[in-house]
Amino acid sequence: MNLPNNTRPLIGTEPTLKAPPGATDCHMHVYLPGYESQPGGPSIPELATVEDYYQIQKWLSLERVVVVQPNAYQCDNSALLVALGELGLTKARGVAVVTPETPQAELEAWHSEGVRGARIMDLPGGAQSCADMALIEPRIRELGWHMMVQFNGRHLNDHLTSLKCLKTDFIIDHLGKFMDPVPSEDIRVDEILRLLDRGNAWFKICAPYETSLVGGPDYSDVGAVARRVIEHAPERVIWGSNWPHVGVPRSQYPNDAMQLDVLLQWATQSECEKILVDNPARLYGFDIN
């Protein structure tokens, strides 16, 4: 399979937010030459290489990155590991797809290459669902990994018992992924705050364009929930670009600088520092500058 080269914009007007030293993108994907989509996963429209992402990093003044296994590759983490090798352990970490059958020796090898989390996606195309969490969590616990969990936030109650049973850290991904957005005072947002208060849950600001009904640049419907979570527990929030944004049609492709600048609408300067630097360093084991 020959994938076309990246045609997405990799440079543009600088973001208004001046990223502090050590700023971390906690959610992006790569699509590398020679790695095909796997059965059960979506097709790959075009490449998204490490070299492409270096330009995004430079544009947004980011220093560190977490590479997340894309749905297209399903349980084949080969491209993820190649990308981590190119990026290097001082600047990059990874989130892989782990199955209940993944050999422990393989998990330990991935750890040495920078993997620090297991992806759970309870939406179409996801390789491992919330039903798999109870079997996967003991496999990663001794390594100190977290679970990155994504589901429709409107169905949070279906997953609450399973989430409360997790002993590892876990991330509530993509702003809770409420489809459609809910008011900030919704009872399911109350439940998210209670999960954060338990001490092992995190909340990721990522891809508001995927669920917002009002759109950017402020994404005010999604932003209301984000602001409430940040105000409640700024020390439990991280941010991700979701580059290269394959979940939306080309006509809806978002501006990458605006995806960073949305933090200015939702967080104070000191909160931005925690979200971009301190919290990712703590979760992923990066050195503090």
Give the catalytic positions in this structure: 242
**Do residues 172 and 201 lie in contact, with contact meaning Cβ atoms separated by under 8 Å?**
yes
Task: Tell me the sheet residues that pair with 73.
Answer: none
Q: How far apart are CA 123 and CA 133, in angstroms?
A: 14
Rg (CA), the chain: 17
CB 57 within 8 Å of CB 65 = yes
Contact 242, 259 (CB under 8 A): yes
Compute the half-sphere exposure of residue 289: CA atoms within 13 Å on the CB side of its CA.
12
* Tally of CB atoms within 10 A around 250: 11
